[in-house]
Amino acid sequence: MAEIEQNFSFSQLWHLGYPTLILVIAAFTALMTSIMRFKRSFLVTSIVSALGFFLSALGTIFQIKAEVKGLFFGLEFGLYGQVLALIIALIGLVVVLFSYRYWLDYEQEGKKEIIPETMALMLFSAVGMQLMLFAQNWIIFVLSLEVMSIALYILVGIRRYQVNSAEGALKYFLLGSVAAAIMLMGISFLYGATGSLDMMSFLKAFSLLKLPTYSAGILVKAGLLLVLIGFIFKIAAVPFHFWAPDVYEAAPMPVTGFMATGVKVAAFGAFFRILMGIPYISFDAEHNRLLLNFLGLIFILTVVVANMTALRQKSIKRVLAYSSIAHAGYLLLGVMSYIKHQGQGSSHELEQIKTMFGSLQSILLYLAVYSLLTLGAFAVLTNLSKKKDLENIEELKGLAGRQPLLAAALSVFLFALAGIPPLGGFFAKYYLFSQAIATELYLYAVIGILFSAVSLYYYLAPVVAMYFMKTEASQEQVQSEISTPFYSKLLIVGMMVLVFYVGLFPQSVLDLF
Amino acid sequence: MSITHYLTLAIALFSIGLIGVVLRRNLLVAFMSIELMLNGANLSFIAFSRYLGDMQGQMAAFFIVILAAAEAAVGLAIIVLLFRRQGSVQSSVFQNLKDKVGV
């Protein structure tokens, strides 16, 4: 293998991966400052983390501008990974900014329960996410997946004096480790079948299946299935979604926001990255159809089950959890339309490349817009959760009178998640479904559109509670809502403006990708 | 001994682990079952590595050992935490989180 002959050179590593290395440095610095516990150490830690995420995002932008690409020991740096790494760095930055006040309130309670290490853990988790997107080798992939997950297990259970929080951490830990073990078993089968730990072995295994002399068919099929199951676990698609609502409910509000966006972007990005190689591998129509039908089944299950279950939820966090599951389903439709291009004849090669690029673009746009909207919703909810996380939708009653700005912002984000024009979510969804229709996935597209109409019901429930239901808020509740810091408001307004911008000028956003 | 023997053992370990996680009610046993699953994957990597005459599989096995150790550190900490809160490590005690359905 070519990788083995490479010499390790630090300057090249820095040249290719400095945005991720900045995050590593920031993570260790944040760990140090949080351990020392001097006066205002949490402020310093937060500044270090925010700076780390900001510089990493900036570095990624420079790299994209300079078109830096290259291979480094099982890591492949390229435009695709860099765009998603940029999204992850920005997610981290936004989460640090809007969650600072939330953590500080815990500290001021004097409970000793504040754990300044949260920021460092968030940085470590982001490092794992970014590496996952660059991984070209299964070992690197699994290790970065675990760096991400182990940091998140701790983050979920960080309010350790609460029973629910620890229970959520346990559930996440058990199911996450089982998923990792299943995936590793699958990887070992693929390794045995193809003799390589390169991530392309996933596709190579498919093409092995069609050789008439090949006798280890079961091995390959089992390997492919196990790896796919592992991915479905991580992106939380039905039937392996059941951990998501419980874990989202147990985690502190900002961590839930971080998980709902960051993990989804990273896991989905890595999943799609493997499938991206499909057009370059000689693939026969039968296996293409097999993969399509498998993903189609998952898509239908995910969209139907997630949307139907969300209808009856009382907890806002669970509604958003099911919404994130449903959005993973819509994204799978984008993947299917990408794969479908391969199956169609290559008589119009140029056209095929163009439509394939369209699918890729639609998936990246959807991931970015979904992250923006979900983070926005969680930013508002975090500002409403002082001392105690906001649980039930009923607690939002009459918010429009008390906090007009936050109520308006939450409504905008929820409407956009439901896909109402002229907001950003509509265009992203429209583009995704139009790609599916262009590749003749009519049945799937119709199911997706129908159930996204169903989703309107549960996105509207909090809005109705905020605007049309009046109750006497308890003194405690009003107290907790009153102190929204200025910069948080600014951040939320900025995100709101961005949602409108994406919706009204979609072309200018598409040109960015 | 052919590769089939090793593979059978690896798959058996993995399956026992998977069944253990699903069926056993004691968290520590469930946790041990996960280690069993990882070791099944490990054995399979090494068997293939030997069969293919390729060192990458053995390298993977080392990394999986590291990974299992890191998971053990966090996992045991979580189980200790739960034991302190509830005084039990039976999974039936931990059922606070579930769908709270309304109208």
**DSSP labels for chain B?**
--HHHHHHHHHHHHHHHHHHHHH--BHHHHHHHHHHHHHHHHHHHHHHHHHHT-THHHHHHHHHHHHHHHHHHHHHHHHHHHHHHHS--BGGG----S--B--
Q: How far is B102 from chain A (nearest CA, A)?
A: 6
- A20-24, A261-265, A278-282: which range is least confident on average? A278-282
Strand partners, B26: B90
State phi, psi for A37 to the nearest 5 degrees: 50, 45
User: Where does residue A11 rank: exposed (0-12), middle (13-18), buried (19+ CB within 10 A)?
Assistant: exposed
Mutate to test the interface with B, among A170, A215, A305, A322 (most CBs of B within 10 A): A170
- A51-65, A241-255, A386-400: which range is least confident on average? A386-400
Mutate to test the interface with A, among B19, B99, B101 (most CBs of A within 10 A): B99
Q: Which residue of B has its CA nearest to A178?
A: B34
- Res. A2 pLDDT band, cuts 50 70 90: very low
Handedness of CA A289, A295, A299, A301 (dihedral sign): positive
CB A78 within 8 A of CB A133: no
Q: What is the mean pLDDT of residues A264-270?
A: 94
- Cα Rg of chain B (Å, integer): 18
CA distance A305 to B78: 31
Using one digit for the tens of pLDDT, what is the confidence trace for A458-507?
999 999 988 888 776 666 666 655 567 888 889 999 999 999 998 888 88
Residue B26 has pLDDT above 60, yes or no: yes
Which pair of structure tokens corresponds to residue A71?
A: 């291979």
Mutate to test the interface with A, among B11, B71, B92 (most CBs of A within 10 A): B71
- Write the DSSP symbol of residue A395: G
| Chain-chain contact of B99 with A178 (C-beta, under 8 angstroms) | no
Predicted local confidence at residue A258, as pLDDT? 95
Which chain B residues are closer than 8 Å to A313 by Cβ? 99-102
Strand partners, B101: A313
**B 5-24: CB under 8 A from A:** 7, 10, 14, 17-18, 21
Q: What is the mean pLDDT of residues A148-153?
A: 95
Q: Domain B3-101 has what CATH class?
A: mainly alpha
Q: Which of B37, B45, B67 comes nearest A178 by C-beta?
A: B37
Q: What is the mean pLDDT of residues B12-27?
A: 94
Using one digit for the tens of pLDDT, what is the confidence trace for A60-102?
999 999 888 888 888 889 888 999 999 999 999 999 999 888 8
Q: Which residue of B has its CA nearest to A175?
A: B21
Residue A438 has pLDDT above 90, yes or no: no
Q: How far apart are the first and last CA of chain A?
A: 33
Predicted local confidence at residue A480, as pLDDT? 59
Using one digit for the tens of pLDDT, what is the confidence trace for A184-208?
999 999 998 888 888 887 877 777 7
Q: A274-281 — which CB contacts under 8 Å span 24+ positions?
A: A274/A199, A274/A202, A274/A203, A275/A203, A275/A335, A275/A338, A275/A339, A276/A80, A276/A338, A276/A360, A277/A200, A277/A203, A278/A203, A278/A338, A278/A339, A278/A342, A279/A341, A279/A342, A279/A356, A281/A200, A281/A203, A281/A204, A281/A206, A281/A207
Cα B63 to its chain centre, rounded Å, is 15
Looking at every residue in chain A, the average pLDDT score rounds to 86
Predicted local confidence at residue A114, as pLDDT? 60
Predicted local confidence at residue A97, as pLDDT? 92
CA distances from A290 to A224, A225, A293, A294 (A): 12, 12, 5, 6
CB of B52 less than 8 A from some CB of A: yes
Which chain B residues are closer than 8 Å to A188 by Cβ? 10, 41, 44-45, 48, 57, 60
Q: What is the mean pLDDT of residues A171-177?
A: 94
Predicted local confidence at residue B4, as pLDDT? 87
Which chain B residues are closer than 8 Å to A314 by Cβ? 100-102
Which pair of structure tokens corresponds to residue A218?
A: 């079961």
CB of B63 less than 8 A from some CB of A: yes
Which residues 6+ apart lie within 8 Å of A196 measured at CB? A1, A204, B56
Predicted local confidence at residue B44, as pLDDT? 95
CB B31 within 8 A of CB B76: yes
Q: Which of B27, B41, B70 comes nearest A184 by C-beta?
A: B41
Which residue in the block uniquely carries the two structure tokens 């598409």?
A510
Predicted local confidence at residue A355, as pLDDT? 73
Predicted local confidence at residue A108, as pLDDT? 67
Q: What is the pTM of this model?
A: 0.92
Using one digit for the tens of pLDDT, what is the confidence trace for A9-23?
888 888 888 999 999
| Chain-chain contact of A181 with B14 (C-beta, under 8 angstroms) | yes
Predicted local confidence at residue A52, as pLDDT? 96
CA distance B59 to B67: 13
Q: Which residue of B has its CA nearest to A170?
A: B78
Residue A149 has pLDDT above 90, yes or no: yes
Using one digit for the tens of pLDDT, what is the confidence trace for A374-402?
999 999 999 888 777 788 888 888 888 88
CA distance A352 to B61: 41
Peptide bond into A245 cis (omega under 30): no
Q: How far is A329 from chain B (nearest CA, A)?
A: 20
The 3-state DSSP class for residue A198 equals: strand
Predicted local confidence at residue A479, as pLDDT? 60
Q: What is the mean pLDDT of residues B79-84?
A: 90
Q: Which residue of A has its CA nearest to B46?
A: A188
Predicted local confidence at residue B77, as pLDDT? 92
Q: How far is A150 from chain B (nearest CA, A)?
A: 7
- Domain ranges across chain B: 3-101
What percentage of chain A has pLDDT greater than the value 70?
A: 90
| Chain-chain contact of B57 with A164 (C-beta, under 8 angstroms) | no
| Chain-chain contact of B41 with A246 (C-beta, under 8 angstroms) | no
The four Cα atoms B28, B34, B39, B41 give a dihedral, to 10 degrees, of 180
| Chain-chain contact of A184 with B99 (C-beta, under 8 angstroms) | no
